[in-house]
Amino acid sequence: MLTAASPLQYAKERRLTIPIVREEKGECNRMLRITTAGSQRVFIRVRRIISSDVQHAGSNAVLIRDGIIEDIVYTDLVPSDVRVYDFSGLVMTPLLCDYHLHFSASARNSFASIEEKLLAHGIGKAYDGGDAAATGLIAKKALSGDITVLSAGRGIYKAGAYGKYIGVGVRGVEDALRVIDALRSDGIDYIKIVHSGIYDAETDRITSGGFARKELREMISYAQDNGLAVYCHANGARAVQEAVEEGAYAIIHGLGVSDATLSEMHDRKVIFIPTLQAFRSIGRLPGTAAAKNNIERTVDGHLTAVSKAYEKGVTVHPGSDAGPQFIPYGTSFVEELGLMMRAGIPYDHVIRNACSSHLEPLVPAALLLLEGLAIKGMFLQGKFLPSFQHETA
C-alpha cells in the first residue's frame, strides 16, 4: 500500500506533475477526458481495489501506460497528461479465477464461445479438473490468449468406480504411478485424484469410488516428489479426512466434511473448493420430489460447512464445476460467488479469494470493474470495454 504523507509528496516521489484537476467525480461508466489526444497513459480511479493479496488493499487508483500497469496508488488527485476514468462507486480487481471446471470432448468445437463466456464473467484463469480425453490440455493451447488454463489432463480414478467421464481408471498404485508419469510428459499442471463417488440425490448417499488409504498416500507422495500438487475430488467425511491427512493440496467438493477435518485443513493449509453451485445445479436435472428435497438439505448442510471453514480460517476458493450442460460456464461461477456470500463470507473476502492474481506494476493491465457481483467494465490489452452486462447470483 502506498501511503505518502500527502499527495504532493506522493507526486514528488513519483515525479508526477501535480494535477491541475481536482476531484472530479464522474458517474459510473462516464469517461472524463482530461488532456491531450494521443496520450498513452490512463488513470483509473475507483472506490477501492481488491486483489489476491492485501498489499494494495488501501489503494484506489491505477496508472496504466501503453497497456502496462505503471503504478497502483491511493490518491484524491490525478496526474496531468492522462486520460481519466472515474469509477468512484466501483471496486477494481484483477481478472477472476474459476478454480474448478471441465473441458469435455464436446467442448473442442466451441473453445471460442467458451472463452467468450468465461471472459464476459470476468474469468481470466481456470483450473481444468480433467476429462477422459484430456481435452483440458487442448483448451490450454486454444485459450491461451486472454485466459490462462491450468489443466489436470485426466483425473485418476479407481477402475470400476466413479470417474470415467473425467479421467483414466487405474487398478492399483503401480498403474497410477505410470499414469502420473504419462500425464507429466503430456504437460499437466497438477494431479487430480478422484477419491470418492458423487452425491446421488435419489438415495441421498455418496456413490462408491476412491482408493484404499495406502494407495492414496503413495500416489500423493509420488506426485509431490515430482513437484505436482494433488487436488482430490472427495465427498463423505471419511474420504475428505483421508485426502487431507495424506497430503492433498486442495479438496474439491468436500461434501460432508467434519468440523475436525476443517480444523485440520486450516492447520495443514489445505484449500477448500466446495462447488456449492454444482450441488445446487443437480436440482435442475429431472428427479423426484424427494430427490429435490434431499438436494436442498444437502446444499444447506454444505453452506454451513463453508461457513465453518471460513470461521476456522480455511482458504475457500470458488469453483463452478462448469462443463456439463446443466452447469454453464461463467454464470455458474458468479452463482458460486453468491453462494459463498450466502454462507456468510464477507464480500471483500469472497472477491479476494476469487482473484486470479495480485496487482503489481509492470504487468499488462487486465482489470475488472465490479458493482457487487455485476461486471460494469473491463480493461483488457489497454482498452476499456464497457459493455459487460449485469449478472447477479
Of 126 and 365, the one with the shorter C-beta distance to Zn ion is 126
Q: Closest approach of Cβ 227 to Zn ion, in Å?
A: 23
User: Buried (b) or exposed (e) across 343-356, using 16+ Cβ within 10 A?
Assistant: bebeeeebbbbbbb
Tell me how far apart the alpha carbons of residues 99 and 80 are, in angstroms, rounded to a whole number: 40
Q: Closest approach of Cβ 316 to Zn ion, in Å?
A: 16
Burial of 269 (0-12, 13-18, 19+ CB in 10 A): exposed
Of 56 and 195, the one with the shorter C-beta distance to Zn ion is 195
- Helical segments of the chain, H only: 7-13, 111-120, 135-142, 173-186, 213-225, 237-245, 259-268, 276-281, 289-312, 331-342, 347-352
Cβ partners under 8 Å of residue 341, min gap 6: 347, 350, 393
Of 74 and 190, the one with the shorter C-beta distance to Zn ion is 190
Of 273 and 351, the one with the shorter C-beta distance to Zn ion is 273
Of all residues in this chain, which one has the CB nearest to Zn ion in the complex?
Answer: 129
Q: Closest approach of Cβ 167 to Zn ion, in Å?
A: 10
| 8-state DSSP, 26 | P
Q: Closest approach of Cβ 283 to Zn ion, in Å?
A: 17
SS3 198: coil
Of 91 and 168, the one with the shorter C-beta distance to Zn ion is 168
Of 128 and 264, the one with the shorter C-beta distance to Zn ion is 128
Q: Closest approach of Cβ 130 to Zn ion, in Å?
A: 8
Q: Closest approach of Cβ 129 to Zn ion, in Å?
A: 4
Tell me how far apart the alpha carbons of residues 130 and 133 are, in angstroms, rounded to a whole number: 8
Residues at the contact surface with Zn ion, assessed by CB under 5 A: 129, 321
